[in-house]
Chains A and B, each alone.
Chain A
Amino acid sequence: AQTVTQSQPEMSVQEAETVTLSCTYDTSESNYYLFWYKQPPSRQMILVIRQEAYKQQNATENRFSVNFQKAAKSFSLKISDSQLGDTAMYFCAFMNGVFGNEKLTFGTGTRLTIIP
């Protein structure tokens, strides 16, 4: 079974600064996907970024980028030029890449607060 660990329950950072959220996972699979989801107080879970395990290049989406270290089973999220709208719970998630086994395993989340 896969496990996802987020060791930072809460973080806060000043607006416009850069923040990195940590995530580690454990799996014996070689084909999988990793995701970061954001859940603001509105409770809608929003996909922030997606990484395919077979791709060595780190995924980037505007101000959001990941540092994917496959050997270390680490998948951290970096938010650059943080904005007030980035305040939310952030969940790291793992999904097996085998067709027919598309279930997400989530970490416990990191509550990020952007301070004006």
Chain B
Amino acid sequence: KAGVTQTPRYLIKTRGQQVTLSCSPISGHRSVSWYQQTPGQGLQFLFEYFSETQRNKGNFPGRFSGRQFSNSRSEMNVSTLELGDSALYLCASSFVGGLGQSYGYTFGSGTRLTVV
């Protein structure tokens, strides 16, 4: 069974540009979350989608946005990039049981974004 696939693996962008990252969850997983990982701030929650609806959002500025498609694939977008947006962006998917129980998130390998 294929894991969580994130593309691209590496990205270099210039300050002020925008970027779109892609995530394909494990088949059957309808919950997709995004996290930012930096040496200074650690792992921080960005947002979570379930059945194309954003259910939770972390404490990030509006420059960070996302969406989920009907096939559960998700994208996140960062506009007007700043140097501080350089980070590893991790996508994770989860199967949610009929009673709402969670079995934990499976993570992708991440996209390393460098803003110069």
Where the two chains meet, the residues of A that have a C-beta atom closer than 8 Å to any C-beta of B are: 33, 35, 37, 42-47, 50, 91, 95, 97-109
Q: Which of B31, B45, B88 contacts A105 (CB 8 A)?
A: B45
B94 touches A43 (CB 8 A): no
Q: Which of A42, A99, A101 contacts B109 (CB 8 A)?
A: A42
Q: Which of B55, B58, B108, B110 contacts A100 (CB 8 A)?
A: B55
Q: Write out the residue numbers on chain A whose beta carbons fall within 8 Å of the beta carbon of B103.
A: 50
Q: Write out the residue numbers on chain A whose beta carbons fall within 8 Å of the beta carbon of B109.
A: 42-44
B107 touches A44 (CB 8 A): yes
B42 touches A103 (CB 8 A): no
Total residue contacts A-B, CB cutoff 8 A: 64
User: Which of A44, A103, A105 is packed against the most chain B CB atoms within 10 Å?
Assistant: A103
Chain A residue with the shortest CB-CB distance to B9: A43
Q: Which of A42, A47, A107 contacts B105 (CB 8 A)?
A: A47
Where the two chains meet, the residues of B that have a C-beta atom closer than 8 Å to any C-beta of A are: 31, 33, 35, 42-43, 45, 48, 50, 55-56, 58, 88, 90, 92, 94, 96, 100-110, 112
The CA-CA distance from A78 to B107 in the complex, in Å, is 22
What 4 A-B pairs have minimum CB-CB distances, sorted nearest first?
Answer: A99-B100, A45-B107, A106-B43, A103-B45
B106 touches A47 (CB 8 A): yes
Given A43-B88, A44-B107, output 10 extra A-B contacts at Cβ < 8 Å.
Answer: A33-B104, A44-B110, A45-B107, A47-B105, A91-B43, A97-B100, A97-B102, A99-B100, A102-B31, A107-B42
Q: Write out the residue numbers on chain A whose beta carbons fall within 8 Å of the beta carbon of B56.
A: 100-103
